Amino acid sequence: MSSSNHRPITAWPRQSLEVSGDEALELLGGVSLGRIVFTRQALPTIRPVNHVLDHGDVIIRTHEGASLTSQVRDADGRGVVVAYEADSIDPDTHLGWSVVVTGYALLITDPGELARYRSMLRPWANQDMDYAVRIHPALVTGIRLTVPPLMADS
């Protein structure tokens, strides 16, 4: 890698501050791209997806052949445990935030609700996304990466 590809990283330390669940959901609602974590063949699998936040639930779209689609379809009425992570961290300063939602994923089957989410959430992948999945949070955590107060005054 050439030196022109390296970005300068400021030398001062960062501070990690926990945010409330409400603030974490507000941050999550301000971005459209995240990563879903689910189990595939007993191992964690991560996929980038876009999302919308609707009444505190994370909604993503998926397709027929996706591992997540078949797992959620075959789940009992409670859903499958997943995690959803999104962040906004500046590549130069390494300041920003990260949010993780852990909860239960269920396939959305109501035709009216599915049509509504299809109109709200345009897939960024170039393939048919005929399904939508709702992640109902059981745990919402988040952190802000900031400059410690004494360093910010320097």
- Per-residue pLDDT at 9: 54
Q: What is the pLDDT of residues 16-28, one digit of tens each?
A: 999 999 999 999 9
- Per-residue pLDDT at 68: 85
Domain 15-148, CATH? 2.30.110.10
DSSP state of 7: P
Q: What is the pLDDT of residues 5-14, one digit of tens each?
A: 555 555 567 8
- Cα–Cα distance for residue pair 76/80, rounded to 1 Å: 8
Q: How many CB atoms lie within 10 A of CB 48?
A: 11
Q: What is the pLDDT of residues 37-75, one digit of tens each?
A: 999 888 999 999 999 999 999 999 988 878 888 888 877
Query: Which residues are CB-neighbours of 126 under 8 A, at least 6 positions away?
Result: none
**Contact predicate 142/98, CB 8 Å:** yes
Predicted confidence band of residue 30 (pLDDT cuts 50, 70, 90): very high
Residue of higher predicted confidence among 151 and 105 = 105
Average pLDDT over residues 96-116: 95
Q: What is the pLDDT of residues 119-143, one digit of tens each?
A: 888 877 666 778 899 999 999 999 9
Query: Which residues are CB-neighbours of 30 under 8 A, at least 6 positions away?
Result: 88
- Per-residue pLDDT at 1: 44
Predicted confidence band of residue 84 (pLDDT cuts 50, 70, 90): very high
Six-digit token string for 127: 């393939």
